[in-house]
């Protein structure tokens, strides 16, 4: 597969995953802002912006409506929904021959839907429904991808982008929440803490899944364990790392370049760290440092993917 094709499929997937993450966090934050109890609106907004990577121009200005609209429609901000959808569609357009007609139609429809809402200024009419429609469009695209595309190299690069982006965003979210929730003082209001924990799980679409494993007894330690170490839930970091590992192996098995030892060692080390570290070791140790290490490893894996699959020389390709 040509490096430009792999690059476009990889980033198409990452942009859509990033858009979904932004929409879900915004929807949850707006819901939490209805509770004007112990945490002020500014603090909640700033926490969400930190979890999205602190995009420029999204600081608190006092108007929730204008800030929310900017986070969805600011085409110059890499964290905004419209920026991510524009990037996903452009990458899909460049490899139109590699994806199915159904995939293109779904993504194109979502793109035009968002631009139509922006033009008609309909976003503020029913914010929650509009955000839900974006999630629905992304889910439809993912389902269409898995059912209408050959599961070859291209599909593996799509999976790789999806899981790497998801692992990084979940680790960032947990790192941002960690000082407020996982180190909360004993005097913390139980009702307030419960709402915050539900919000965290909803950001990862994991509330029902968590309850199936641990019941509705929400505990910061158990939530951290679930979102970090669970191997069966698609938004848990361990699941995502294993998925990325399988995608890299799948690229080789479908005729792609053999992954170098440096890349195999990097993702293998991250997978082993999640597999063999217990939640008690994480909590009694440096929790923030553990989460930060995951983020750094994800960035390192991304750099290695680019070095060996996108920005490689002809000589190194012929040598494999």
Q: What is the pLDDT of residue 190?
A: 63
Q: What is the pLDDT of residue 194?
A: 85
Task: State the DSSP string of 131-188.
Answer: HHHHHHHHHHHHHHHHHHS-SSHHHHHHHHHHHHHHHHHHHHHHHHHIIIIIT--TTS
pLDDT tens-digit series, residues 264-295: 899 999 999 999 999 999 999 899 999 999 99
SS3 161: helix
Q: Are 185 and 319 in contact (CB under 8 A)?
A: no
Q: How far is CA 288 from CA 51, 130, 175, 291, 293, in A?
A: 14, 34, 6, 5, 9
Q: pLDDT category, 115, cuts 50, 70, 90?
A: confident
Residue 162's φ and ψ, nearest 5 degrees, are -60, -50
Q: Is the confidence at residue 252, as pLDDT, over 80?
A: yes
Q: What is the pLDDT of residue 315?
A: 41
Q: Is the confidence at residue 121, as pLDDT, over 60?
A: no
pLDDT tens-digit series, residues 165-191: 999 999 999 999 988 777 655 445 566
Q: Where are the domains of the chain?
A: 1-148, 151-320
Q: What is the pLDDT of residue 317?
A: 41
SS3 237: helix
Mean pLDDT of 80-87: 95
Q: Are 67 and 60 in contact (CB under 8 A)?
A: yes
């Amino acid at each position: 597969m040509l490096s430009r094709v792999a690059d476009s499929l990889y980033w198409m997937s990452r942009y859509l995953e990033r858009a979904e993450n932004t929409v879900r966090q915004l929807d949850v934050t707006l819901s939490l802002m209805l509770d004007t109890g112990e945490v002020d609106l500014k603090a909640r907004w700033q926490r969400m912006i930190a979890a999205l990577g602190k995009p420029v121009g999204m600081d608190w200005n006092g108007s929730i409506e204008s800030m929310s609209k900017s986070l969805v429609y600011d085409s110059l901000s890499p964290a905004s929904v419209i920026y991510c959808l524009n990037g996903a569609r452009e990458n899909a357009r460049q490899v139109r021959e590699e994806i199915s007609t159904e995939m293109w139609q779904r993504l194109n429809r979502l793109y035009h839907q968002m631009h139509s809402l922006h033009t008609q200024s309909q976003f503020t009419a029913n914010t929650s429904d509009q955000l839900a429609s974006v999630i629905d469009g992304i889910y439809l695209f993912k389902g269409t991808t898995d059912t209408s595309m050959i599961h070859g190299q291209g599909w593996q690069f799509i999976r790789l982008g999806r899981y790497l982006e998801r692992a990084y965003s979940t680790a960032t979210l947990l790192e941002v929440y960690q000082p407020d929730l996982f180190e909360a003082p004993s005097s913390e209001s139980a009702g307030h803490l419960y709402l915050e924990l539900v919000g965290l799980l909803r950001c990862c679409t994991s509330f029902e899944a968590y309850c199936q494993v641990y019941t509705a007894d929400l505990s910061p330690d158990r939530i951290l364990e679930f979102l970090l170490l669970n191997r069966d839930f698609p938004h848990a970091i361990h699941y995502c790392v294993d998925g990325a590992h399988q995608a890299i192996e799948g690229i080789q098995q479908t005729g792609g370049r053999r992954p170098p030892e440096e890349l195999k060692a990097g993702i293998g080390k991250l997978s082993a760290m999640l597999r063999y570290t217990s939640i008690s070791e994480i909590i009694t140790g440096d929790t923030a440092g553990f989460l930060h290490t995951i983020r750094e490893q994800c960035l390192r894996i991304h750099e290695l993917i680019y070095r060996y699959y996108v920005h490689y020389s002809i000589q190194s390709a012929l040598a494999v």
